[in-house]
Amino acid sequence: MPVIKKTVALHPIMDNYVRTLQAILIQKGWNATYSTALNYMVLYNVMDVSSRKMHPKVVKTLRDFLYDRRTIREIQSQDKLTEYLERSRKQMGQAYIT
């Protein structure tokens, strides 16, 4: 299975849910990394939504998230910062470490 390594900025609330899920999976005996827990969460939600209609409260929460410009800007800012740091690290490695 191809693995795509991407940096993703998560809202602190989402990060907390992922870490909680990771801890639950580990307690249940699974070898769960942060990525495993995040993929599990996403897969669960994709399958859940595809098998039934979304509850109106869920639709409202998702819509509120999209309209929360402050949160979206913060996530985008973290994305840009992480991309910059990764590029800088790579450039420094190429320039100074041979």
pLDDT score for 75: 80
- Residues 6+ away with beta carbon under 8 Å from 62: 54
Please tell me whether residues 48 and 15 are part of one structural domain: yes
The whole domain housing 91 covers 59-98
What whole-number distance in Å separates Cα of residue 28 and Cα of residue 42? 19
Please tell me whether residues 66 and 98 are part of one structural domain: yes
| In a domain? residue 1 | no
With cut-offs at 50, 70 and 90, classify the pLDDT of residue 83.
confident
36-56: pLDDT as tens digits: 999 899 998 888 888 888 888
Whether the pTM exceeds 0.75: the reply is no
- Domain count for the chain, please give it: 2
Please tell me whether residues 97 and 76 are part of one structural domain: yes
Query: Any idea how long the chain is?
Result: 98
| In a domain? residue 31 | yes
Please tell me whether residues 64 and 35 are part of one structural domain: no
HSE-up of residue 88 (Cα within 13 Å, Cβ side): 6
